[in-house]
Amino acid sequence: MKKTGLATLLLALSLSLAAQDQSVKALQAEANRSIKKDDADTSKKNWKTGGLFSFNIGQGSLNNWAAGGDEFSLTINTFLNLHAFYKKDKHSWDNSLDLNFGYIKTTSLGTRKNDDRIDLLSKYGYALNSKLNLAGLFNFRSQFFKGYTYDNASNKTLSSNILAPAYVLLSAGLDYKPTKNLSIFVSPITNRWVIVNDDTLSAKGAYGVRPGTKSINEIGAYASIGYIKDFNKFVSYKGRLDLFSNYKKNPQNVDVYMTNTLSAKIGKIFTFSWSVDMIYDDDVRLFGKNQTSPGLQLKSIIGAGIQVRL
C-alpha cells in the first residue's frame, strides 16, 4: 500500500513538471514571435506643417574716426516663413506665408526701413497624373508700414503704406511638378486687383489706379515658378518667380516679381543668409529724373544671425 501511494505521488509530480515545462516553452515561443504590422492600423499624415524664423542684427559706432563715416548705425532684419501642405489621394493644398521686415538707423540718414513684405500664397490641386495638376491659386501681397522715397537732399516722399499697394490675385490653370522641389503654374486667365487704400497715393493715381479711386481690376496671363532645395543639412535655397501680363493695358510689358533666399547654417542656430528680390511693374512710376518712370526694383540683403526651424 505504501509503494502504491509513493508511485502515485511520483507520477503526479512528474506530470506537474511536464506541464510547467510546456508552459515555459509556450511563453518563450510567444515572446520570440515576430508581430506582423496590420496595414489597416497604420495612419499616414495628410498635413505637413513647419516654418523658419530668422533674426539678424548689426551695429556700428565711430568716435574721432579720421576716415569718416556715420557715428552710429544699427540694422535689424527678420523674416518668418510658415507653411502647411496637405495631400490625400488626388487632392493637394499648399499654403505658405512670408513675413519680412528690415530696419536701419544711422546718424546722417535717420530711421528708414529696408525691407517690408507680407506674402500669402495658397494653391489647391487635383492630380491629372503623377506630375500634372488642375489647380487654383490665390495670392495676397502687401506691407506693414509706410514707405518713402528719398532725393539727394534726403527729402522724403510717401510711396507706400499698408494696403497701398496690395495685390490680390485669383487664378486657375495647370500646375506641373516634374520634381518634388520644382513647381510651374501657368494660367491663361487670371484676375488681379491692385488696391491703393491711402488717400494721398490714391489722389496721385499711384500704382495704376485712376486718381481718386482705390482699386483697379486687371485680367491677364499669369505664371509662377517655385523652387525649394536643401542642398545638404546646412545650405538651403528658396526662390519664386511670378510673371503677369495685363490684357487690358500694354500686355507686352510683363510685370515681374522674383524672390530668392540662400541660407547657410553655422552650428545649430547661427546662420548666414542672402536675399535678393527683383520687381518690375509698368504701373509703378516712381523712378527716373522726374520720378514718373517705371524701373527695375532691386533689393539685396546680407546678414548673419540666428535661424530657428519651427
Helices (H), the chain: 2-32, 199-204
Q: Which has more confidence, 41 or 100?
A: 100
Comparing 44 with 197, the larger pLDDT belongs to: 197
- Give, in order, the Cα–Cα distances in Å from 307 to each of 75, 122, 216, 267, 272: 17, 24, 39, 10, 9
Q: How confident is the model over 66-104, as pLDDT tens digits? A: 877 888 889 999 999 999 999 999 999 999 999 999 999
Give per-residue pLDDT as tens, 208-258.
999 999 999 999 999 999 999 999 988 999 999 999 999 999 999 999 999
Which domains occur in the chain, in start order?
46-309 (2.40.230)
Average pLDDT over residues 172-200: 96
Among the listed residues 51, 75, 162, 83, the one whose alpha carbon sits nearest the alpha carbon of residue 116: 162
In the chain, pLDDT over 90 holds for what percent of residues?
65
pLDDT of residue 2: 46
Task: Output the pLDDT for position 29.
Answer: 52
Residue 274: band (very low, low, confident or very high) from pLDDT cuts 50, 70, 90:
very high
Whole-number pLDDT of residue 20: 47
Average pLDDT of the segment spanning 168-184 = 96
The whole-chain average pLDDT of the chain stands at 87
Q: Is a pLDDT exceeding 70 seen at residue 17?
A: no
- The reported pTM is 0.82
- Report pLDDT for 22: 53
Q: Which cell numbers hold the place of 303?
A: 546678414
Cα separations (Å) of 194 from 9, 113, 117, 210, 227? 100, 23, 16, 11, 26
pLDDT, tens digit, 9 for 90 and up, residues 93-143: 999 999 999 999 998 888 999 999 999 999 999 999 999 999 999 999 999
For residue 81, give every residue at least 6 positions away whose Cβ sits within 8 Å of its Cβ, in sequence order, or none. 51, 52, 53, 96, 97, 98, 99, 238
**CA-based nearest residue to 240, from 223, 258, 261:** 258
Percent of the chain predicted with pLDDT > 70: 86
